[in-house]
Amino acid sequence: MPTDRSSLAYLEAMGVDLWIRRDVSGDESGVEAVNELVDESVDESVDVADESAPPPAGDEPVEVTAEPETQTDVAAAAAAPADTVTVDSPADATQVPLEPETIVESPATEPADDETQDPVELIARADLESLQTMVSGCERCPLSRTRNKTVFGSGNPDADWLFVGEAPGRDEDRQGEAFVGKAGQLLNAMLFALGLTRDDVFIANVLKCRPPDNRDPMGEEVVRCEPYLHRQVDLVQPKVIVAMGRFAAQALLRSGDNISRMRGQQYEYRETGIPLVVTYHPAYLLRTPDQKGKVWDDLLQARRMINGG
Ligand code: URA
């Protein structure tokens, strides 16, 4: 039961009301939290126009409902170098192959005589502005055909905090900006509780394009897209990365582990020395508001890491 001022401010910003009842014996020193009511106002205050649509990719429950096979396959595909991506293997439930004719050749199959033509090399050398331009014209996977706008990410290029989500949803695809829908409003509340605004942090996604109908990202899409995120991390050089949701955590850490086990651990992002904290996706919190306290714990852990603790 959080009692310090910043934790209470967080819970208030997140729409959680704490009701404290006096001990029945009348002993006020023994006052304990007896009821934690969740105020659904966060949900109500946001755009509900998409209620009938399938939940955004990031809205998928991030733990218990995740199927182990899916986790493993996504992690395995994400871990595979781009040149090992199989584009013509038989489809199965989790590894639907990209159509060969829709795929822009992977670096490994391109002529190696001029290294500067290697798209991954170019990405790895781009500054933030040219990286954004590359993303806006990206055709490295078939999501380029179905997207409306690419979603590069935004915020302070010198941010201490880098928040990473899964993929754009409907609103993000329309507006070209990360976390502008319901989950984004909750993320704003989380930032507010930390004394931050979106201008203080950098927010990005693993995928820069919306998967059709908000389906789960495919491993191949992650492989094609993740060089952009890697470069964003290189350029921003955050003091901490907060991976929001199972998918972001698994992709960033190349892990098939369950998010419940990943939370609370101290990770390092790709041997860069940048600490990484795993927490639940804000969209998951919209559906499971009683988990908001755990996310606050994770954010405090991230803040401690920024402060060197
Ligand atoms: N969910 C995400 O993971 N990212 C967004 O930008 C929006 C919703």
Mutational pocket test of ligand 1: of 62, 149, 154, 179, the residue with most ligand atoms within 8 Å of the beta carbon:
179
Task: Evaluate if pTM is beyond 0.85.
Answer: no
CATH number of 116-306: 3.40.470.10
Q: In ligand 1, which atom is closest to the CA atom of 59?
A: 1
Give the pLDDT score at 124.
98
For 235-289, write each residue's pLDDT tens digit.
Answer: 999 999 999 999 999 999 999 999 999 999 999 999 999 999 999 999 999 999 9
Dist. CA 56 → ligand 1 center (Å)? 7
Q: How confident is the model at residue 83 (pLDDT cuts 50, 70, 90)?
A: very low
For 186-200, write each residue's pLDDT tens digit.
Answer: 999 999 999 999 999
CB 270 within 8 A of CB 237: no
pLDDT at 116 over 60: yes
Give the pLDDT score at 108.
46
User: What tokens appear for 33 in the block?
Assistant: 């939290």
User: What tokens appear for 35 in the block?
Assistant: 């009821």
Q: In ligand 1, which atom is closest to the CA atom of 178?
A: 6
pLDDT at 166 over 60: yes
Higher pLDDT, 70 or 300: 300
Q: In ligand 1, which atom is closest to the CA atom of 177?
A: 6
CA distance 272 to 72: 24
Q: How far is CA 285 from the centre of its chain?
A: 13
Q: Which of 16, 49, 28, 58 is nearest to 247 (CA)?
A: 58
Q: Name the DSSP letter for residue 95.
A: -
Beta bridge partners of 164: 204, 243
User: What tokens appear for 248 in the block?
Assistant: 């972001």
For 19-52, write each residue's pLDDT tens digit.
Answer: 433 333 332 222 222 122 223 333 323 332 232 3
Domain with CATH 3.40.470.10 in the chain: 116-306
Q: Which of 75, 57, 94, 69 is nearest to 222 (CA)?
A: 75
Mutational pocket test of ligand 1: of 60, 149, 163, 172, the residue with most ligand atoms within 8 Å of the beta carbon:
172
Beta bridge partners of 161: 240
Give the pLDDT score at 296.
98
Residues with Cβ within 8 Å of 191's Cβ and at least 6 positions away in sequence, in order, are 197, 198, 200, 201
Q: Which residues line ligand 1 (CB under 6 A)?
A: 56, 58, 165-169, 172, 178-179, 181, 183, 205, 283
Q: How far is CA 164 from the centre of its chain?
A: 4
Dist. CA 58 → ligand 1 center (Å)? 5
